[in-house]
Structure 1
Amino acid sequence: MNIIGIAACVAGIAHTYIAKEKLTKAAEKRGHTIHIETQGQIGTEDELTAEQIKISDVVILAVDTSIKGRDRFAGKKIVEVSTEVVIHSAGNLIKHIEENIKA
Structure 2
Amino acid sequence: MKIIGITACPTGIAHTYMAQECLEKECLKRGYEVKIETQGGLGIENELTDEDVESADVVILAVSVVIEGEERFTNKPTIHTDVDEAISHVEDLVNRAVALAKGE
> TM (normalized to structure 1)?
0.95
Q: 2:67: which partner in 1?
A: 67
CA shift, 1:101, in A, is: 2.9
Residues of 2 paired with 1:42 and 1:100: CA distance? 31
Structure 2 stretches lacking a partner, 5+ long: none
- Residues 64-98 of structure 1: CA deviation (Å, up to 9, x unaligned): 00000011111111001110011001112112222
Consecutive aligned runs of 4 or more in structure 1 exceeding 2 Å deviation: 96-101
RMSD: 1.1
* Equivalences, count: 103
Do the aligned partners of 2:7 and 2:62 also contact (CA within 8 Å) in 1? Answer: yes
Over the matched positions of the two proteins, sequence identity in percent amounts to 45
Query: Is the 2:57–2:76 Cα contact (8 Å) retained in structure 1?
Result: yes
Q: CA deviation at 1:99?
A: 3.0
Within 5 Å, give how 1:1-103 maps onto structure 2: 1-102=1-102
| Structure 1 unaligned spans of 5+ | none
